[in-house]
Structure 1
């Protein structure tokens, strides 16, 4: 089952390049970003995130943020096509152990939009749970807003920050927290093979277990409009029991996840090669 995330086609406007807030670009104090992406720059007056704004990454926080941001995003993309999410949700619910446990989206990183595209997956999979994103401390420190919508700080040069981030995420376990993670660590074309997932993803999953890992492929493609279309395909979720279940500290590795996400991307790109601008009528890939 699939559908576009947009209710109607947005107006045609020239796309504007953006730097990624998830790993690279300044999203506050940046004239271009703060003027054009409502809500991504610092939220004026936020100090300690008053309760009226919701807890960081909570459904309330995302809902308030998207009042301004979602209409803007609709003007930047020709559309968003999702597939595989409903099947993944059914598989997670069918496992009594996984039904209320955290879910980690492991995705390739191909554009500025990726973190917000995974929000679309979250909206379909588990909208009542918090959505948190593991982000580099250097980028997260630039914007209160990214912290407000769930950014969780990690500094690769300071191992203690990983332990702190994982403790922070583990504290949300009972809320069925959903976590976004881009193991490439930086933006690469979606055609890259292997994708280059870093080995740290295994450690993250091992420390968060028991947890469900969901591979997600993201591809943006230009078509017959002057804005890209986003194609997102979720794979088969995998339950990692971990030590809390008394079943040993197991976790899939970076190489296996790299291959799974790469296979999902191959399916998207194969469909695009076969049908071009008519891909929407043939979506999702088999």
Structure 2
């Protein structure tokens, strides 16, 4: 019999489709756009499981799992851990690939590794991990890496490990951008040649390099350097935007809700 908390058994395509719609609507209300530079598109080799290890700068990272997973990793079944106490408040998330962990305890570490082995046992599966194990500013160096990540190459020796940088800058509009970029996949075989401390250093370097490269694109504040994956609503909203729209109509002009319609941002 399948264990009751087995995330593979609990994952429901119907629930995922429903919450993708809900999360997308929420994103469009509160974010300007999800953007990824051309160099940062995922290039994960097929036919083997994968581990995405991402930085963890924001509450929005949890939303990114769904939004990016559905749009750019659609051929993969995505699973991600979450603090078990928090997951109790959002039990529905077990149906969309989230599983609970108890951070900071030997029992919790053992349970995480057991579940990770289960998830990575299928070549179509992808395990998405917030690599620091805590919230961390995207400029923090060295990038913190939770020790459990170093164990995963031993459990999934055919897997590929992929860094993912996330950032949420404000440019010239009221809402922030969600910027993301994948780095180059690293095969587990090359990581197994290192001891665990060296693996942690390797993960930290790969993630820092990806974050730094994304930062260089972000500071240009130029959307043309990115591919827009999901567009949110632009402009101020509310009464002020209605007033601007009415003024444009009276002048016979096309209304553009952006704060800087003629600029790159």
| Contact 1:86/1:124 (<8 A) preserved | no
TM-aligned CA deviation for residue 67 of structure 1: 2.5
Q: Which residue of 1 aligns with 2:225?
A: 282
Q: Which residue of 2 aligns with 1:231?
A: 179
Q: Which residue of 1 aligns with 2:144?
A: 196
**Post-superposition CA distance 1:180-230 (Å, at most 9, x none):** 111212212212121222322102343233311110000110012111101
Q: 1:77 to 1:218 in 2, by over 3 A?
A: same
When the two chains are superposed, the root-mean-square deviation of aligned CA atoms in Å is: 2.8
Choose which of 111, 114, 125 in structure 1 pairs with 2:61.
114
TM-aligned CA deviation for residue 147 of structure 1: 1.7
Give the Cα–Cα distance (whole angstroms) in 2 for the partners of residues 222 and 154 of structure 1. Answer: 33
Choose which of 159, 163, 166 in structure 2 pairs with 1:211.
159
Superposed, which structure 2 residues align to 1:3-14 within 5 Å? Answer: none
TM-aligned CA deviation for residue 152 of structure 1: 1.8
| Contact 2:23/2:63 (<8 A) preserved | no
Which of these two proteins has the greater Rg computed from alpha carbons? 2
| Contact 2:41/2:181 (<8 A) preserved | no
Superposed, which structure 2 residues align to 1:13-52 within 5 Å? Answer: none
Q: Which residue of 2 aligns with 1:56?
A: 10
TM (normalized to structure 2)?
A: 0.72
DSSP-derived class of the 1:156 partner: coil
Q: 1:66 to 1:106 in 2, by over 3 A?
A: same
Superposed, which structure 2 residues align to 1:241-256 within 5 Å? Answer: 241=189, 253-256=199-202
- 1:170 aligned to 2:117? yes
Q: Where does structure 2 lack aligned partners over 5 or more consecutive residues?
A: 228-265
TM-aligned CA deviation for residue 115 of structure 1: 2.4
Q: 1:198 to 1:55 in 2, by over 3 A?
A: closer
Of 205-214 and 178-187, more deviation after overlay is shown by 205-214
| Contact 1:107/1:216 (<8 A) preserved | yes
TM-aligned CA deviation for residue 162 of structure 1: 3.2
Q: Give the structure, 1 or 2, with the largest relative contact order (CA under 8 Å, sep 6 or more).
A: 2
Q: 1:228 to 1:57 in 2, by over 3 A?
A: farther
- 1:266 aligned to 2:189? no
| Contact 1:59/1:127 (<8 A) preserved | no
Q: Which residue of 2 aligns with 1:70?
A: 24
